[in-house]
Amino acid sequence: MRDRLLGLPVTDHDWVVVGSTPEAMVEQGFLPVGRDFPVYLHPKTREEYALARTERKTSQGYRGFAVHTSPDVTLEEDLLRRDFTINAMAQDADGRLIDPYHGMQDLHAGILRHVSGAFSEDPVRILRAARFAARFGFTIAPETQVLMRQMVLAGEVDALVPERVWQELARALMEKKPSRFFMTLRECGALAKIMPELDALFGVPQPVKHHPEVDCGLHTMLVVDDAAAHGYSLEVRFAALTHDLGKAATPTEILPRHIGHEVRGVELVNSLAQRLRATGECRDLAQLAARYHGDIHRAMELRSATIVDLFQSADAWRRPDRFAQLLQACAADARGRWGSADAPYPQADYLLQLLQVARSVNSGAIARSCQDSGTIPAAVRHARVGAVDCFLKCRKDFNA
């Protein structure tokens, strides 16, 4: 209903059945599929039909509910348990709009407002509020913001399971404006609970060459929005989100000088990814971005040997597509420093060209020419460095 009224594509329909029972649904051929709620699949269309129900909070978390369903539960009572007024609308078989909680008014005003106090019983709704803010650009009603802060203080967010947090986080990253998701969580205090590594970046100064008004946290928001604006994959967007985590966790008075924020950032990315149950692809690319984005920004200044070692460390020989994703994350980082979506990032084409040169080396032939197998890696590296060095020298001579 909400998406149709917003003029967005409608991919499925959710039906609410009033005045029926589980037994009656099964007798009509509906297939029960709901583990926690009375939900059924239509025998022909396979669309979901849910019996009208009410819920009662029994414990912390989003699973701590007792569900009550009976033929006397009204549609208005069912809609009362919904999260936001814009989701508490329905349409009957004659096309008549049923809007007991003024969802249409909030939809036109671009406001996310909770339907009732039952909102505070499900911590997932905080994540959904943040995701809808990212998706639709809606603002959150002041009273709903107060309720969300109260939920965080009450410890409801602590009961969220990692898999559900990752599900909402991943969906939010794929929205048009992911920064709204994280800023909404930060405003109610949930970000410090869910992603303290990211929350810690706010207030950490950026280098002088960046915008002086933009700290590391705001810079990260610019970066992730840039990645979204360019239509990058989930893996790239997660790397963009986490590339600077180490900057808030490397006070010089605690860590040895030789341990930079890049190394600490890799540790934090790994810890965060494990805690949230992120995919391995997201974790691995994010670790590479945290470790090497500084080197990639300085690509034109690097020696041939350093460039080849970068390719080796990033496993670019076997995973050139992932290396290209790494460059996308770095490009978003560079553009996020200035807030310009059109700023060029020549380092990407430069490194991709050099990678092609280095990969053209016939490592098999080199391996066959080595009498001692232990010398093969060094010989292959030497050849690759030579190829890159020769290419750069020829290009320099040509440009001169």
Write the pLDDT tens digit of every residue in 168-203.
Answer: 999 999 999 999 999 999 999 999 999 999 999 999
What is the predicted pLDDT for the residue at 216? 92
Residue 309, classified by CB atoms within 10 Å of its CB into exposed (0-12), middle (13-18) or buried (19+), is middle
Q: Report the pLDDT averaged over residues 72-95.
A: 86
Residue carrying the six token digits 């590479």:
288
What is the predicted pLDDT for the residue at 338? 63
pLDDT category, 162, cuts 50, 70, 90? very high
Give the contacts of 258 (CB within 8 A, at least 6 positions apart): none
What is the predicted pLDDT for the residue at 251? 46
Distance CA 129, CA 125 (A): 6
**Cα 53 off chain centre by:** 32
Residue 174, classified by CB atoms within 10 Å of its CB into exposed (0-12), middle (13-18) or buried (19+), is middle
**Type of residue found at 38:** P
What is the predicted pLDDT for the residue at 255? 45
The DSSP H or E segment spanning 393 is: helix 376-399
What is the predicted pLDDT for the residue at 211? 59
What is the predicted pLDDT for the residue at 253? 41
121-126-130 Cα angle (round to 5): 160
Buried b (16+ CB within 10 A) or exposed e, 72-106: ebebeebbbbbbbbbbbbbeeeeeeeebbbebbeb
Give the contacts of 83 (CB within 8 A, at least 6 positions apart): 114, 115, 119, 122, 125, 128, 129
Buried b (16+ CB within 10 A) or exposed e, 145-168: bebbeebbeeebbeebeeebbbbb
**Type of residue found at 192:** A
Residue 120 is given by DSSP the state: G
What distances in angstroms separate CA 191 from CA 91, 124, 186, 231, 346, one per listed residue?
36, 13, 5, 25, 34
13-17, 207-211, 295-299, 372-376, range with the lowest pLDDT: 207-211
Helices (H) and strands (E) in the chain, counts: 19, 10
What is the predicted pLDDT for the residue at 254? 44
What is the predicted pLDDT for the residue at 252? 44
CATH architecture of the domain formed by 195-298+325-354? Orthogonal Bundle (1.10)
Record the tokens describing residue 305, joined without a space. 């040997």
Instruction: Indicate the pTM of the whole model.
Output: 0.86
What is the predicted pLDDT for the residue at 100? 92
Highest mean pLDDT among 17-31, 276-290, 361-375: 276-290
Report residue 112: phi and psi, to 5°.
-100, 115
Three-class SS of residue 29?
Answer: coil
pLDDT category, 128, cuts 50, 70, 90? very high
Distance CA 12, CA 19 (A): 23
Closest CA to 109 of 80, 86, 83, 75: 86
In degrees to the nearest 10, what's the CA dihedral of 308, 312, 314, 320? 80
Distance CA 90, CA 2 (A): 9
Record the tokens describing residue 43, joined without a space. 């025998």
Closest CA to 129 of 183, 55, 50, 60: 183
Contact 279, 267 (CB under 8 A): no
Q: Report the pLDDT averaged over residues 147-165.
A: 94
- Indicate the average pLDDT of the chain: 88
Percent of the chain with pLDDT over 90: 61
**Type of residue found at 64:** G
What is the predicted pLDDT for the residue at 274? 96
pLDDT digits (tens, 9 = 90+) for 230-281: 999 999 999 999 999 999 865 444 444 445 678 889 999 999 999 999 999 9
What is the predicted pLDDT for the residue at 63? 54
pLDDT digits (tens, 9 = 90+) for 328-371: 999 999 998 766 677 899 999 999 999 999 999 998 899 889 88
Q: Look at 259 and 109; give whichever has higher pLDDT.
A: 109
Domain positions in the chain:
195-298+325-354
The DSSP string of 218-270 is: HHHHHHHHHHHHTT--HHHHHHHHHTTGGGGS--TTTS-TT--HHHHHHHHHH
What is the predicted pLDDT for the residue at 85? 94
